[in-house]
């Protein structure tokens, strides 16, 4: 197994252990998670790129992130590098739960 695949699998397992009832599927060439089958407002995804493996949050800009794990400057999308996510499982679980709670929220 390639190192990127092992990291991607570990991130997916981390999301699966949040206690949330999430749907998962390959969407946009990524393993993507959503709640209630709402793929328009997906929750998070595992992205494997040439730059590394990241956990992406669709509405990451709306999430409270006291551990300062989220990276990015887009209107909504934020990401956490896999190493940081795997080192902070409790914080990632809290972010996933918050993302589910704010799944359909929009910026003012």
Q: What is the pLDDT of residue 85?
A: 98
Identify the CATH assignment for 3-101 out of 3.40.50, 1.25.40, 3.40.5, 3.90.1150.
3.90.1150
What is the structure's pLDDT at 107? 81
H/E element holding 81? strand 78-81
Please report, for the chain, the start and end positions of each structural domain, with discontinuous segments joined by +.
3-101
Question: What would the pLDDT profile of 17-62 be if each residue is shown by its tens digit?
Answer: 999 999 999 999 999 999 999 999 999 999 999 889 999 999 999 9
Q: HSE (CB half, 13 Å, CA atoms) of 55?
A: 30
DSSP string, 13-80: HHHHTTS--EEEEEETTEEEEEETT-STT--EEEEEETTEEEEEETTGGGS--TT---B--SSS-EEE
């Amino acid at each position: 197994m390639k190192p990127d695949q092992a990291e991607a699998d570990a991130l997916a397992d981390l999301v699966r252990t949040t206690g949330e009832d999430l749907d998962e599927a390959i969407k946009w060439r990524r393993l993507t998670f959503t709640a209630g089958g709402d793929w328009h407002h997906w929750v998070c995804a595992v992205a494997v790129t040439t730059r590394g493996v990241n956990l992406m949050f669709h509405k990451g800009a709306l999430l409270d992130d006291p551990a300062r794990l989220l990276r990015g400057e887009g209107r909504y999308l934020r990401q956490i590098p896999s190493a940081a996510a795997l080192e902070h499982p409790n914080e990632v679980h809290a972010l996933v739960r918050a993302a589910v709670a704010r799944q359909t929220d929009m910026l003012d």
